[in-house]
Amino acid sequence: MNQLALLGGEKAVRLDYEKVGNRPLVTEKGLDAAVRLMKKGEISQSPTVKAFEKRFADYAGAQYAVACNNGTAALDCALFAVGVRPGEEVIVPSYTFWATVVPILAEHAVPVFCDVDRDTFCVDPEDIERKITPKTKAIMLVHVWGNPCNMDAILKIAKRHHLGVIEDCSRPARAASW
């Protein structure tokens, strides 16, 4: 039997975490394209952005796509798209990042926290069902650390109660360095 690396055995993973964790997030080609757009004054609304949105919508099999500057802005757009209005409720997981809740507050809506599954840290569909009130307009899910939520159960609940479903699939830009 092999000995664990912790106890002096051979390491199974030999990555240089400094190199892997500190790779550039944007390629030189991407930086050059961004600089060209900025020099032309095309930083938000431009033919290039419209073309990207169209290509992305086609790729995703969607009717529309909206380019956003970050995941928080994308969540705000999604809340608007499903019709969340001031005073309405959006169910969110109790285990999440602040950026899940801030767009709800920005829409003057009310975040309602539900329990998460102990194994996946994703929303618990049974608790979603318990949290629904006449003011509930949407469910905002967070697929935590690559663990997908139980979408079959959640979509059934949403359909039964006529609720929008917003999926937060953002990930941290870099792995944490402890």
- CATH number for the domain that contains residue 87: 3.40.640.10
Q: State which residues form the domain around 58.
A: 16-67
Cβ neighbours of residue 114 closer than 8 Å, sequence gap 6 or more: 91, 92, 93, 94, 123, 124, 127, 128, 130, 131
pLDDT score for 10: 86
142-177 pLDDT, tens digit per residue, is 998 878 999 999 999 999 999 999 998 865 443 333
Q: 59 pLDDT band (50/70/90 cuts)?
A: very high
Could you tell me if 93 and 120 are in contact, meaning their C-beta atoms sit under 8 angstroms apart?
no
Question: Is 38 within the bounds of a domain?
Answer: yes
29-47 pLDDT, tens digit per residue, is 988 988 998 898 887 778 8
**CA–CA separation, 163 and 157 (whole Å):** 8
Domain count, the chain: 2
pLDDT score for 160: 97
* Residue 46 and residue 76 in one domain: no
pLDDT score for 173: 43
**CA–CA separation, 101 and 113 (whole Å):** 10
96-135 pLDDT, tens digit per residue, is 888 899 999 999 999 999 999 988 899 999 999 999 999 9
Query: What's at 176, amino acid-wise?
Result: A
Question: Is 128 within the bounds of a domain?
Answer: yes
Quote the percentage of the chain above a pLDDT of 70: 90
Pair type for strands 136-142 and 164-168:
parallel
Question: Is 174 within the bounds of a domain?
Answer: no
pLDDT score for 170: 67
* Residue 77 and residue 163 in one domain: yes
* Residue 140 and residue 57 in one domain: no
One-character DSSP codes across 112-129: EEE-B-TTT-SB-HHHHH
Average pLDDT over residues 54-78: 91
Could you tell me if 98 and 71 are in contact, meaning their C-beta atoms sit under 8 angstroms apart?
no
